[in-house]
Amino acid sequence: MGATIVEKIFSSRCGSPVRTGDVVMAPVDGAMIHDITGPLAIQKFYEMGGVRVFSPSKVIMLFDHQVPADSIEAAENQVFMRKFAAEQSIYNYDIHEGVCHQVTLEKGRVHPGDLVVGADSHTCMYGAVGAFATGIGSTDMGFVLKFGSLYFRVPESIRAEVTGEFQHRVGAKDLILMMAGKIGADGATYKAIEFTGETVGGMEMADRMTCTNMAIEMGAKAGIVPPDEVTWRYMAERGGAAPVPLASDPDATYAEKRTFEVSDLAPQVAIPHNVDQVVEVGKVAGTPVDQVFIGSCTNGRFEDLKSAAEVLGSLSFSDRVRVIVIPASRTEYLKALRAGLIEQFVTAGALVEAPCCGPCMGGAFGLLAPDEVSLSTSNRNFRGRQGSTAASVYLCSPATAAASAIRGEITDPREV
pLDDT in tens, 189-247: 999 999 999 999 999 999 999 999 999 999 999 999 999 999 999 999 998 778 888 99
pLDDT value for 366 = 86
pLDDT value for 380 = 84
pLDDT value for 379 = 87
Q: Per DSSP, which regions of 99-165 are E strands? A: 115-118, 132-135, 149-153, 156-163
Cα separation values, 128 from 55, 125, 217, 232, 384, Å: 24, 6, 16, 12, 29
Domains in the chain, start-ordered, CATH in brackets? 5-241 (3.30.499.10), 268-415 (3.30.499.10)
Nearest C-alpha neighbor of 48 from the set 150, 145, 149? 145
What is the dihedral sign for C-alpha 242, 248, 249, 250? negative
Q: Which residues of the chain have pLDDT under 50?
A: none
Nearest C-alpha neighbor of 2 from the set 193, 160, 157, 189? 157
Cα separation values, 49 from 7, 56, 60, 266, 335, Å: 33, 17, 21, 54, 44
| Overall pTM surpassing 0.85 (yes/no) | yes
